[in-house]
Amino acid sequence: MQHDPLDTPLYRFAHIALFVLWRILFRFTIVGSESFPREGPVVLAGNHISNLDPLFLGAACPRQIHFMAKSELWEVPLLRRLVDGLGAFKVRRGAADREAVRAGIAILDAGAVMGIFPEGHRQRTGRLGRPLPGVGLFSLRPGVATVPVVITGTNRILRAWPPFPRVTVRFGAPLDLAALSLDRSHRNREVTNRIMQGLAALLGQDCSDTWDD
């Protein structure tokens, strides 16, 4: 695991421990991590099919991920200490949370990796859902790389047979966001569409869904 300016000791321990555990229980497979940027700010954008997704992505990524997480987790004292120790930051769902935006920008400005689930909510079927507005905002920061990542199998853990399915994390190459519209009002939507198309390609899904409306 590479070291970043905002690394936390708990995360480094969990990265190693969970990687070993996942390999034993879920035949954990990681594809494409060699293309992940080894330094500099990164937006890691993933699909979301289970509450366990951050734990598998954290074990797969060669750098610490600072996840945007729902604010309800901070209302439970034990969970608050855990998510703080893992370097996550909170967002209030269903509202325009400027504090969360500032926290995400601060992470990127420090040259670290920010993790985000563009859909906002779990899609247990495995099909991509509609992204939340404003997802592309972080990718528009100067010098930020945007990497799509998909996870499969976590939505079947203890919910189907076998109870310990194979779990795979697949990283895409950083997205080419050079040829964006000159119209600033359209850029955020354009970047969001590129992210969703990147996720769809990694999943082998049709990328003509209605997130472009």
Is residue 4 assigned to a domain?
no
pLDDT at 186: 81
Is residue 139 assigned to a domain?
yes
**Where residue 207 sits, what CATH number does that domain have?**
3.40.1130.10
Q: How confident is the model at residue 83 (pLDDT cuts 50, 70, 90)?
A: confident
pLDDT digits (tens, 9 = 90+) for 134-182: 788 899 999 999 999 999 999 999 887 888 999 999 999 999 887 776 6
Is residue 58 assigned to a domain?
yes
Asked if residue 198 has pLDDT above 60, the reply is yes
Q: How confident is the model at residue 199 (pLDDT cuts 50, 70, 90)?
A: very high
Is residue 1 assigned to a domain?
no
CB 99 within 8 A of CB 70: no
pLDDT at 163: 85
How is 75-93 classified by DSSP, letter by letter?
A: GSHHHHHHHHHTT-EEE-T
Query: What is the phi-psi region of residue 208: left when phi exceeds 0, alpha when psi lies from -120 to 50, beta otherwise?
Result: alpha
Is residue 154 assigned to a domain?
yes
- pTM (2 decimals)? 0.90
Write out the residue range of the structural domain in which residue 67 sits: 9-212
Euclidean distance between CA atoms 76 and 68, whole angstroms: 17
3-state secondary structure of 121: coil
Euclidean distance between CA atoms 130 and 153, whole angstroms: 20
pLDDT at 210: 46
User: Taking the CB of residue 182, how many other CB atoms lie within 10 A of it?
Assistant: 6
Is residue 191 assigned to a domain?
yes
Beta strands 29-31 and 113-116, pairing class: unpaired
pLDDT digits (tens, 9 = 90+) for 2-47: 667 668 888 999 999 999 999 999 999 999 999 999 999 999 999 9
Is residue 206 assigned to a domain?
yes
Number of structural domains in the chain: 1
Structure tokens at 26: 């879920």
Is residue 2 assigned to a domain?
no
pLDDT digits (tens, 9 = 90+) for 52-68: 999 999 999 999 999 98
Average pLDDT over residues 63-76: 87
